[in-house]
Structure 1
Amino acid sequence: MINHSRRGLFTRKQPSQQQRLPWIKDENTFTDHCLRCNACVNACQTKVIVKGDGGFPVVDFHHGEGECSFCYQCADVCPEPLFEPQQQQPWTQTATINSSCIALNNIECRSCGDQCETQAITFSLQVAKVAQPVINKADCSGCGACISGCPVAAIEMITP
């Protein structure tokens, strides 16, 4: 078993900063049983799964096409029982926008909304301001398309 608090001490990374693959059962099962064989990395349709800390696969929305298509190929090729069935929700993460968003700083930008296929990001018109982004958490799939489209890296995924 990996001691995440000790590992974080040396890498300065917290486990929450590592975006795990969709449908992973839980963190301990993943780190205890993942072979780091890269089968999921090679199978990823959109190339957002990359080799992360310690050789474990992670999702990085700044690589490949910048979003998860939820194709389930990562789970299909995995030789270990790390994944939940495809019928379950892939993850509970949703997008959040921080204060560095240029629209929140009164500069016109709608890049995130343009990338959002589920239209979870809309823009609320404001008096004497540019339209402000609003995320409907119920519609957000956590696919990450908005992250790669943001010119100032103001969007991140959070798990409630």
Structure 2
Amino acid sequence: MTQGINQSRRNLFSRRKSNVTRPPWSKTDQEFTDNCTRCDKCISVCETQIIKRGEGGFPEIDFTKNECTFCKQCVEVCPEPVFDDTAVLPWTIVASIKDSCLTAKGVWCQSCKDACDPRAISFIMAVGQVPKPVIDIDACTGCGACVSPCPTDAILIGHPS
């Protein structure tokens, strides 16, 4: 009985933040943090400087600075088994538009569309209104290119709901 209680307490205290975005091709958050030594090699090699030290010193993505180019340098430099095969999709995150989007306030803005190379963001025209953004979830790579140009921080990159 005591062993079960100790195991439960250990699990309680070992839970880690799971709402962060790890580098592309990362294994599950638990596998990543169990094996990552926090050596910062992925941070140093990131060509767009979007990998930063997050909570507990573990690498996480910050799209407010730039986008992910999927260059795979973070995967290649890492000596630990924290990444999956790069032949699969890098992650399942996609962009979404929050209510703070300028178009919701009647302001014409298409900065997210202009930054989106895969053309996953389009705008729907409506008579008497500014065009509203629509994200094609199937085309969105989750690269985050749309985040930093947004003047109101209205783009959220995360798992689809």
TM-score scaled by length of structure 2:
0.89
CA distance in 2: counterparts of 1:46 and 1:93, whole angstroms: 18
CA distance in 2: counterparts of 1:21 and 1:37, whole angstroms: 14
1:3 aligns with 2:14: yes
Superposed, 1:92-131 pairs within 5 Å as 92-131=92-131
- What are the Cα deviations for residues 51-102 of structure 1, in whole angstroms up to 9, with x where unaligned? 1111101100122xx1000011001000101111111100000000011100
Structure 1 stretches (4+) deviating beyond 3 angstroms?
none
Residue 36 (structure 2) aligns with:
34
Q: Secondary structure of the residue that 1:104 maps to in structure 2? A: helix
Residue 90 (structure 1) aligns with:
90
Superposed, 1:31-70 pairs within 5 Å as 31-63=33-65, 66-70=66-70
Residue 10 (structure 1) aligns with:
none
CA distance in 2: counterparts of 1:94 and 1:62, whole angstroms: 15
Structure 2 residue identity aligned to 1:53? E
1:139 aligns with 2:139: yes
1:152 aligns with 2:152: yes
Residue 73 (structure 2) aligns with:
73
CA distance in 1: counterparts of 2:27 and 2:143, whole angstroms: 18
- What are the Cα deviations for residues 117-156 of structure 1, in whole angstroms up to 9, with x where unaligned? 0010011101110011010000000000100010000011
Q: CA deviation at 1:158?
A: 1.9
Structure 1 residue identity aligned to 2:38? R
Structure 2 unmatched ranges of 5 or more: 1-10
Structure 1 residue identity aligned to 2:29? E
Structure 1 residue identity aligned to 2:102? I
How many pairs are equivalent?
149
CA distance in 2: counterparts of 1:52 and 1:158, whole angstroms: 16
Once superposed, what is the RMSD of the aligned Cα atoms? 1.3
Q: Secondary structure of the residue that 1:109 maps to in structure 2? A: coil
TM-score scaled by length of structure 1:
0.89
CA distance in 1: counterparts of 2:135 and 2:57, whole angstroms: 33
Task: Give the percent of matched residue pairs that are identical in Structure 1 and Structure 2.
Answer: 44
Structure 1 residue identity aligned to 2:144? G
1:15 aligns with 2:18: yes
Which structure: larger Rg? Answer: 2
Structure 1 residue identity aligned to 2:128? A
Q: CA deviation at 1:157?
A: 1.0
